[in-house]
């Protein structure tokens, strides 16, 4: 056999070797856990019916409208359909889209996708999310074009060139911070916003309004303050996140992704709670700093 053919056969064999397949399967498994749990891209990208109920058979084919002056944004179709989804994008292009907010054609993805938080998703978890997205059936669905009557920033930050690793799981607080920030963007909704950005000096203090068919819900204070989670038990915090019930058992309203968060495992829940308990205690909305508004 000519040497080049031998090399080609060896490369092919390597690509389909049981070890590679096992690694792919592990990546997809990790992606599935993240996607059906803390990361919950589906809370925005899942296809929904008229009543807002998720239609699982139509996957992440998008269409949900965010009508929030000064923009009208429609969640994109992120299934592997080559015409109406992201089937033609490379793995690197998909990762760049959700971590840096830049499409393959160079245009910027607009709000409300929490790109500033997704920037911190580790390289391994980013690959797992892509592996999962690629493993989904393609769904043809043309989504209307978003309209932004505002200036989008030139970029969400400098290009990511460095490697990004998740903190070690043995450091509960640090891993919990990774879960509540880059992976779960809990702190996007639960940190008071000033001029369109969460004020990280008041991280977790809540107080942001969310309008929808449910009326107006206000993000709660997650810091260990009297007006926050100080008196709550770990079990009560876990129940709020997984089942959408407040301390007294009353149901919590959207837009938190309860249907996804119910799949967060016990180890991750423990880290998440350890992080929340480590936050600086602040009153709802963060107190005097709110005067900066």
Cα-based distances in Å from 197 to 91, 112, 208? 29, 11, 11
Residue 175 interacting with ligand HEC (CB under 6 A)? no
Residue 269 interacting with ligand HEC (CB under 6 A)? no
What is the nearest approach in angstroms of ligand HEC to the Cβ of residue 181?
9
Q: How far apart are CA 200 and CA 183, in angstroms?
A: 17
Alpha helices in the chain (DSSP H): 3-15, 18-35, 42-45, 91-100, 115-118, 123-134, 172-178, 186-189, 234-243, 258-261, 266-278
Residue 146 interacting with ligand HEC (CB under 6 A)? yes
**Closer Cβ to ligand HEC, 27 or 78, answer by number:** 78
Residue 255 interacting with ligand HEC (CB under 6 A)? yes
Residue 178 interacting with ligand HEC (CB under 6 A)? no
Q: Which of 28, 45, 178, 181 binds ligand HEC (CB under 6 A)?
A: 45
Could you give the string, one character per residue 94-133, with x where binding to ligand HEC holds by CB under 6 A and - elsewhere? x--xx----x-----xx-xxx---x----------x----
What is the nearest approach in angstroms of ligand HEC to the Cβ of residue 1?
43
How many residues in the shown chain lie near ligand HEC by CB under 6 A? Answer: 46
Q: Which of 47, 127, 134, 190 binds ligand HEC (CB under 6 A)?
A: 190
Residue 246 interacting with ligand HEC (CB under 6 A)? yes
What is the nearest approach in angstroms of ligand HEC to the Cβ of residue 239?
9
**Closer Cβ to ligand HEC, 103 or 289, answer by number:** 103
Cα-based distances in Å from 170 to 140, 166, 178, 267, 270? 43, 11, 13, 10, 11
Supply φ then ψ for residue 245, to 5 degrees.
-120, 135
Q: How far apart are CA 208 and CA 189, in angstroms?
A: 7
The helix (run of H) or strand (run of E) holding residue 197 is strand 197-198
Eight-class DSSP state of 285: G
Eight-class DSSP state of 212: E
Query: Residue 210 burial (CB < 10 Å; 0-12/13-18/19+)?
Result: middle
- 160: helix, strand or coil: coil
Residue 184 interacting with ligand HEC (CB under 6 A)? yes
Q: Which residues bind ligand HEC (CB under 6 A)?
A: 38-39, 41, 43-45, 66, 73, 75-76, 78, 86, 94, 97-98, 103, 109-110, 112-114, 118, 129, 146, 180, 184-186, 189-190, 210, 217-220, 222, 237, 240-241, 246, 252-253, 255-256, 261, 272
């Amino acid at each position: 056999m000519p040497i080049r053919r031998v090399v080609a056969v060896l490369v092919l064999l390597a690509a389909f070797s049981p070890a590679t397949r096992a690694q792919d399967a592990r990546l997809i498994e990790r992606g599935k856990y993240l996607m059906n749990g803390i990361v919950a891209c589906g809370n925005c990208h899942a296809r929904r019916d008229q009543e807002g109920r998720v239609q699982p058979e139509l996957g992440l084919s998008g269409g949900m409208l965010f009508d929030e002056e000064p923009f009208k944004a429609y969640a994109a179709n992120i299934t592997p359909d080559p015409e109406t989804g992201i089937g033609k994008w490379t793995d690197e292009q998909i990762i760049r889209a959700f971590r840096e907010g830049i499409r393959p054609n160079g245009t910027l993805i607009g709000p409300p996708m929490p790109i500033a938080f997704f920037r911190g998703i580790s390289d391994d978890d980013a690959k797992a999310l892509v592996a999962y997205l690629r493993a989904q059936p393609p769904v043809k669905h043309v989504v209307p074009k978003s309209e932004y009557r505002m200036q989008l920033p030139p970029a969400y930050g400098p290009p990511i060139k460095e490697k990004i690793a998740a903190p070690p799981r043995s450091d509960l607080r640090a891993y919990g911070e990774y879960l509540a920030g880059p992976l779960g963007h809990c702190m996007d909704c639960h940190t008071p916003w000033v001029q369109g950005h969460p004020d990280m000096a008041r991280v977790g203090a809540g107080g942001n309004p969310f309008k929808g068919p449910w009326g107006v819900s206000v993000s709660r204070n997650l810091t260990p303050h009297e007006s926050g989670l100080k008196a709550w038990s770990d079990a009560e915090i876990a129940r709020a996140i997984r089942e959408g019930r407040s301390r007294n058992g009353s149901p919590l309203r959207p837009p938190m992704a309860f249907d996804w968060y119910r799949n967060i495992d016990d180890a991750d829940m423990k880290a998440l709670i350890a992080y929340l308990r480590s936050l600086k205690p602040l009153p709802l909305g963060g107190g005097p700093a709110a005067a900066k508004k």
